[in-house]
Structure 1
Amino acid sequence: MPANPRPGGETPVERCIGWFPELLELREGTLVPRSRDGELPENLEGEVGSEGLVTTWAANEVGRSLVRAVEFATTSKSLLDRDRSRLLLTMEKSARLLAESGQRRSAGVMVAYLIELGLGARRCPPEEINWHLDPLVSLARLHVDFDTGKTINLDLAVGTAAGVLKVADAITSARARDHLERRGDVWQPLPEDGMPSADVEKIAQRTCTELRQVPDLRAFTILERTRHACPHAQEWAILLATNDRFEPRELPFMLPTNVGIVELLHERLA
Structure 2
Amino acid sequence: MTTPTLITVAPTGAESTKADVPALPVTLAELTATAKECEAVGASVIHVHIRDDEAKPSLDPVRLRDTVVALRESCGLIVQLSSGGSVHDPEEARLAVLDAQPDMASCTMGTVNFGEDVFLNRWEFIVELHTRMRDRGIVPEYEIFDLGQLWSLARLLDKHGLPSGGHVHVDFVMGVPGGMPGTVEALVACKQALTELPAGTTFSATGIGRSSLPVLLGSLAAGGHLRVGMEDTVTYAKGQPVEANSQLVARASGFARLAQRPPLTPGQARELLGIGV
TM-score by length of 1: 0.32
Q: Which structure is higher in strand share?
A: 2
The higher relative CO (CA closer than 8 Å, separation ≥ 6) is in: 2
TM-score by length of 2: 0.32
